[in-house]
Chain A
């Protein structure tokens, strides 16, 4: 009797399963599987054959309007090759990617902004090395400086995609002109300018590091940028790879140098309150006092161009613009930047083809034409870059005298780079001493 009961339950489950299976079959048909490579506008893509009708899933941290531009940038390629790109952008990308990879549901391709995460996934065997064509394309278009961040154990796992330059100080050209201030070209000039501005009753600097669960990151950028200037790229590399401890005196010196600005009551926080208001001001709002004349300087990356209030004109003759964050020694030109890398979890031909395309100059130009885009791609035609700050960024990236370093927190293990470093700097702004802060971060380094 009982077994009859159970059997009927099994039958029921099977029935329900069949019903749903019917739905599956009904939906999976109707894909068209032809490409348009013979059309004249597709001439550039004639090598991408035999992948029509396939789908590539993309997972990124880029969403909303920027995601639309990105999808638009490869639309022509997708139309020509007949490949369908299934795009997904998420604000909690770093965590969600881990969940998906661990759960066996990795996307085909991800745009990873943290070389540290890329390295970990590569070493764990989750990523597939870049295919031959991608390698050729990447080496042709990107400098070794960039490719080394996606190279693990001698194998290239991805190619850079977008990038940004972080060593910028935003200011108001009009305000500078009215007050007769000049753009500083060395650290000393920067400090004397700050003193000069402070003497007029305006607090020269403004900053905001609140960013939800990523609160603290703008402060880590400050430290990295200053460390690069104060101690040079070699110490920077040692610090990132943890061959010198996080609480090394050299690091402490750089942190204190940042403190001489960010924790200086005379300098901050223009229009936003006292030193501690930096911790609770959102990074989006960190620079807005400049437009109201309540603050003069705001160190933030090139992408801050999109954060200004509606109607603010960005440009050398506009309401706001940025100058290069000067080095201690003006003859050197260290630059801090970041960007994302394409990495594949599956090496099906269509996935590899897409990765190859993303590394190409075709894509860099196609995306740049749509606006708001910086890339270190050598094939990028600067004429396609419209935004003045993007133009300036591309010039800096292309300049051979530039000593480029990638954002250190993105290279460190996630527990530090996206954890204790952010948190430590937030506490530091909130009053914790440099020594205690650095000791805390050093202790959290995974052993």
Chain B
């Protein structure tokens, strides 16, 4: 074995950690020692590192994407783009293929956040304070720790199809056979195939919901729980009248985060069906157009549309924020 490559890497890690500590130390020291009167300047310093990185890493790319969405590849001059007006937007809404993609994305966004949050919530209530809670929670958490590559293999295994007279490889078809049915090609028939893909993301995201919601449940003040109990509420009432209202902010965080993650889903579709059989979603088409198909304009248009899709959530956040401020 040759480990001569390794020390420089670890040295690099050391430098990274030192740089981190230096940034933390110096920033906090400076903030501490230099008294500033105007909150605006303090805020600027607090926001500066994040702001600078966001500008470079996300704001500029977002603007660039927006501009590119009005261009198309110039056939006469490969490698360059020319102005195309709203052509890409028209394409997006008229082409049957991309319309189908938009509908699929809608299905994903409706199902994944709600189901995975529900599962995460129910499970964290059920195992809360039970014996072996930590173990029970790691079971649901496990899918989150598996990379998309791993999740892809796992679920391809489950949906695998073999003809009737063969030994089944996939668990789902084996169950069907045991129950006396004929094996199905799960990923072939729409719209069911999209549902089978959605299951995979729910499987992954429920762990996230469970972790956050479980923490929130544990933060419900004991007095409230105790008071409710003295009133003689049933566990069912407890769940709806005490637990859910108390963890509402956490629920919203979970729903919003999973919704955004779902809009950006890409790897699962890519690994399981490659977007075939009418299972493609926005983010996957976006990647395909922008890179392998070499039409950045169309890719960017789909990205801009993704952005438009979150507008309702953004508006909701604004309302939420206003309410929050009023309370304080």
Q: Which A residues form the contact surface with B (CB < 8 A)?
A: 1-2, 4-6, 8-9, 12, 15-16, 19-20, 22-23, 26-27, 94-96, 98-99, 119-121, 123-126, 210-216, 271-274, 276-277, 279-280, 413-415, 418-419, 423, 426-427, 430, 446-447
Contacts and interface: CB of A to CB of B under 8 A. Distances in A.
Contact of B271 (A1, A15, A212, A216): A212
Contacts of B37: 1
Contacts of A418: 292-293
Nearest to A413: B294
B188 A430 contact: yes
A124 B78 contact: yes
Given A12-B26, A23-B12, A277-B161, A120 B292 contact: no
Mostly helix, strand, loop or mixed at chain B's interface? loop
Contact of B30 (A5, A212, A271): A5
A419 B34 contact: no
A91 B197 CA distance: 22
Interface of B: 8, 11-12, 15, 18-19, 22-23, 26-27, 30-31, 34-38, 41, 44-45, 48, 73, 75, 77-80, 161-163, 166, 185, 187-188, 270-271, 273-277, 287-289, 291-295
A155 to B, nearest CB: 15
A123 B8 CA distance: 40
Given A2-B36, A9-B45, A447-B75, A19 B22 contact: yes
| A-B interface, 6 closest residue pairs, ranked by CB to CB distance from nearest | A124-B79, A95-B291, A415-B293, A273-B163, A123-B78, A215-B274
Nearest to B292: A95
B277 A430 contact: yes
B270 A5 contact: no
B195 to A, nearest CB: 16
A95 B270 CA distance: 13
Contacts of A276: 185, 188
Contacts of B44: 2
A261 to B, nearest CB: 19
A415 B294 contact: yes
Contacts of A6: 45
B297 to A, nearest CB: 11
B292 A8 contact: no
Contacts of B188: 276, 279-280, 430
Contact of A98 (B11, B12, B48, B294): B294
28 contacts: A2-B41, A4-B34, A5-B30, A5-B31, A5-B34, A12-B30, A16-B23, A22-B15, A23-B15, A98-B292, A98-B294, A123-B78, A212-B274, A213-B274, A214-B274, A216-B276, A271-B166, A272-B162, A273-B161, A273-B163, A274-B163, A276-B188, A279-B277, A280-B161, A280-B187, A419-B288, A419-B292, A423-B276
Contact of A23 (B11, B77, B271): B11
Count chain A CB atoms within 10 A of each CB in B48, B185, B293 and give the residue with the most: B293
A120 B22 contact: no
A323 B89 CA distance: 50
B36 A19 contact: no
Contacts of B8: 26-27
A36 to B, nearest CB: 20
Contact of B22 (A16, A214, A272, A280): A16
Given A280-B161, A419-B288, 13 more contacts: A1-B41, A5-B45, A6-B45, A9-B45, A23-B11, A123-B77, A211-B274, A277-B161, A280-B187, A418-B293, A427-B276, A446-B75, A446-B295
B299 to A, nearest CB: 11
B270 to A, nearest CB: 5
Nearest to B78: A123
Contact of B291 (A16, A99, A280): A99
Given A12-B26, A447-B75, A1 B274 contact: no
Given A123-B78, A273-B161, A446-B75, A426 B292 contact: no
Contacts of A272: 162-163
Contacts of A27: 8, 11-12
A339 B69 CA distance: 35
A12 B27 contact: yes
Count chain A CB atoms within 10 A of each CB in B12, B19, B23, B161 and give the residue with the most: B19
Contacts of A16: 19, 22-23
Contacts of B293: 414-415, 418-419
Contacts of B78: 119-120, 123-124
A212 B163 contact: no
Count chain A CB atoms within 10 A of each CB in B11, B44, B292 and give the residue with the most: B292
